[in-house]
Structure 1
Amino acid sequence: MELEGRVAMVTGSSRGIGRAIAIELARRGAAIAVNYAGNAAAAQETVAAITDAGGRAMAIQADVADQEQVDAMMKQILNEYGRLDILVNNAGITRDNLLPRLRESDWDAVLNVNLKGAYNCAKAVMRPMLKARWGRVINISSVVGLTGNAGQANYAAAKAGLIGLTKSLARELGSRSITVNAVAPGYIMTDMTDGLTEENKNKMLAGVPLNRFGYPEEIASAVAFLAGEGAGYITGQVIVVDGGMTM
């Protein structure tokens, strides 16, 4: 229960990696704000998983690309919990296509949610973290932000941008005992990978030394470590969790 007394907001935590992160932080004692964009039922399932295990959680709908909605969400969290110690910028979308066929609206949508959303949320949480002189900001990037990926120029650009944002904020906030780090997942078992054929799975795994997909819980463990006191001297770093794919 190393996070007992802490409050965490996890964006996009109604399912997948975000849900696993919310549940793991709650297991370690943090009260959780479960952010979601549209699927209220899924968000309530995350809340139920936490509260049924004896934790505290609340679901809040907000589009992280909209600063006004983010500010309203932050106000609701402070009204309910009185503080905000940990921000996990996990919310993300994809709109894949090769660049000649990539619509401007799909470029804008991905950058607005995946990168601007992290900016909006980080800006909103700064006041309570600076006041407390303690905080953890953890951005969920991706290995494609390090390597690029054909058909994902918008997604890769946003995830690479998160790494730049991470390092810049780490320099800005370090003197106030606020650490800022990123986690870059590789191939993780999610709804997307569940629908792949065995042939496609084998192709994806060909370059992974551990020869398996990762699990959302393994990303959650890395995030929970960065959120804890034991990671207090780690900032501006990118923790790659990819089975060795990009080493």
Structure 2
Amino acid sequence: MSGEISGVGEPLGSPRESGCAWHILVPSLSLQAIHFHLLDAAFSGNDALIIYGSGYMHASTRVATFHRTNPLPGAMALTGTSEALLVLSAVSNETRVRLRYECAPYGTKLGDTWFSPVGYACVLAAFIVLGFAISLMPVYMVCYCKARRHQDLVMQESQLMIRSELQARRLRSSEAAREEQQVVASLQALPLEMWKDRGNEEVGKRPSCDECCLCLEPYSEEDMLRVLPCQHFFHEACIDRWFSANRFMPRSCPLCQ
């Protein structure tokens, strides 16, 4: 009796008088199939080779049994499992089995490392995404620079508009203040006279009544009157308040307007 299994695997047990056993398992590698190639085989009597789809001899995991009436085929494949157990039960010295097996892992081998389809797809997707990101980087930088340049231009235009508006407001304010000063100076330049009731004597062009048309109070002898260019006259305080209250309107005589 002789038995030989060649390939990548871990022997299980050692040749015994009653037979041999071989455990095929590649650690940390998922197998798609285990291919067996017959080199030489001969069975005598009731000797047999039993193949299990796991590392344990259990009836539920038994795949096939080969003996004298059911010889080994030239090639066979065990799928759906990542390990196999071959048990040769023989008592005759004329029984011999020589097999060579090959493990077909899932995935692709890169160097000394096997990648499963899922892992290979993940690595490929990562490289694709990385390459896409690197290729988009110049486009992003160009768009970013254009956006920053446009933003800077908008900011500069906004600042210029704000400065122009502030300068215009200052100019308008200074012009309004200058006009107000001129008006105040003009008002101060208007002549002042004291009301004196002298019968038929007139001071300028008197109104039809002897009272101020702004405050509706009669003039007294000591009242100071401001005489306008149109020769209408009013209490000094009344006409000054009138012009101050209507500073944003054309200043004119209350009677002439």
Q: TM-score, normalised by structure 2?
A: 0.18
Q: TM-score, normalised by structure 1?
A: 0.19
Quick check: which one's strand share is greater?
Answer: 2
